[in-house]
Amino acid sequence: MIDFLIIGGGVAGLSVGARLSEHGTVTVLEAEDGLGYHTSGRSAALFEKGYGPNSVKALNEASAAFFETNAYLTPRGLMLIGGRDQQALFQKDAQDLGVQEISPEDAIGHIPVLNAETVGYAAISNSAYDIDTDRVLQDFARTVRKNGGSVLTRQRVSSIRKSVHWTVETSESLEARNLVNAAGAWVDEVAQMAGISPIGITPYRRSIARIPAPGGHDLRNWPMMLGAGESWYAKPDAGKLLVSPCEADPTTPHDAYADDMVLAEGLARYEAMVTETVTRVETNWAGLRSFVADGTLVLGPDPSDPSFIWSAAQGGYGFQTAPAASQLVADLVTGASPRLDAAIVKALTPGRL
């Protein structure tokens, strides 16, 4: 009998599995061939405390020490960029993110390809970091295994039923006292199989292109660029530049792929702020960012059955919130006092929906 059976081998499932493995036996099930195949494997991999709604910012703050202690972070920086006609959007974003406004001339000093004729506003933060996402995933999985648990791939769930305990059918039949739903875009499908009311998850597609370094520049010390109104972003990555249109197009759970037209529109928005045109896209892909109506995470036992536990609706905040989000789930499941403010806990738990 498994104490905690977790459906989903992305950062949500693996982080919760690592926390719960200190309190009982854990088995993590991943439907795909490898861990983090869908959203977790297609993340922008940035840690920025000021990014997200208030409940997410609280999770970011509470996650910082974990990332710093384990040396998962590398300084990156974040530059907010607004066109000359985007003053209102820029100022709102600058306030939300808590970034320091600088002159366009100073911005060009950081990123020499910015276009002095089109960039009207800029602000910078030095508290944004790259996350070593692969090592985070593997270390969470290693913790599960070290504590006697299992992390299994190619385990697609075909049915779920409950009598006294949960029975989950994959390639074999598994029994568990508690079932953790960390299935990303598929969490409502898992809930319906289990006879639990869905939370109203909506997956939104976000596309990314990898392009050569603009003008052949060395990008290692460039900050990530974010267009006002989150209309595009560009992030250095292994000597190349990742560019996203930051679209949020609602879709269904599936193995996402980039929309060529949307990608072209996003590249055009990026090109409008720089002096170098995009002549070649080396590769592209897309991921699904899954949200409920209020835009924040859903964490903890379901009010109708506390043995059904949610770790869901991470949206675009999964990695940066994972340490604190998983700790909150473990606290709520084990009856420990949450380490977050009561109002934040209420804003994150499924009882609010």
**pLDDT by residue (tens digit) across 33-46?**
988 877 766 777 89
* Residue 340 tokens, joined: 């977050």
pLDDT digits (tens, 9 = 90+) for 44-83: 789 999 999 999 999 999 999 999 999 999 999 999 999 9
Q: Do domains 2-50+132-200+294-352 and 78-125+202-291 have the same CATH topology?
A: no
185: which residues sit within 8 A by CB, 6+ positions away? 38, 39, 201, 203, 252, 253, 254, 288, 290
Q: Does domain 78-125+202-291 have CATH number 3.30.9.10?
A: yes
Mean pLDDT score across all residues of the chain: 96
pLDDT digits (tens, 9 = 90+) for 82-110: 999 999 999 999 999 999 999 999 999 99
pLDDT at 125 over 70: yes
The domain segmentation of the chain, as residue ranges, is 2-50+132-200+294-352, 78-125+202-291
In angstroms, the CA 20 to CA 43 distance is: 24
pLDDT digits (tens, 9 = 90+) for 311-351: 999 998 999 999 999 999 999 999 999 999 999 999 999 99
Average pLDDT over residues 278-307: 97
SS3 16: helix
Fold of 2-50+132-200+294-352: FAD/NAD(P)-binding domain (3.50.50)
E strands, the chain, are 2-7, 26-29, 46-48, 73-75, 78-83, 100-102, 119-125, 128-131, 150-152, 159-162, 166-169, 173-181, 202-211, 224-227, 233-237, 240-244, 249-250, 283-291, 298-302, 305-312
| pLDDT score recorded for residue 42 | 74
pLDDT digits (tens, 9 = 90+) for 240-289: 999 999 999 999 999 999 999 999 999 999 999 999 999 999 999 999 99
pLDDT at 115 over 80: yes
SS3 182: coil
Given CA atoms 225, 231, 237, 241 in this order, what sign does their dihedral have?
Answer: negative
Q: Exposed, middle or buried by CB within 10 Å (0-12, 13-18, 19+), for 177?
A: middle
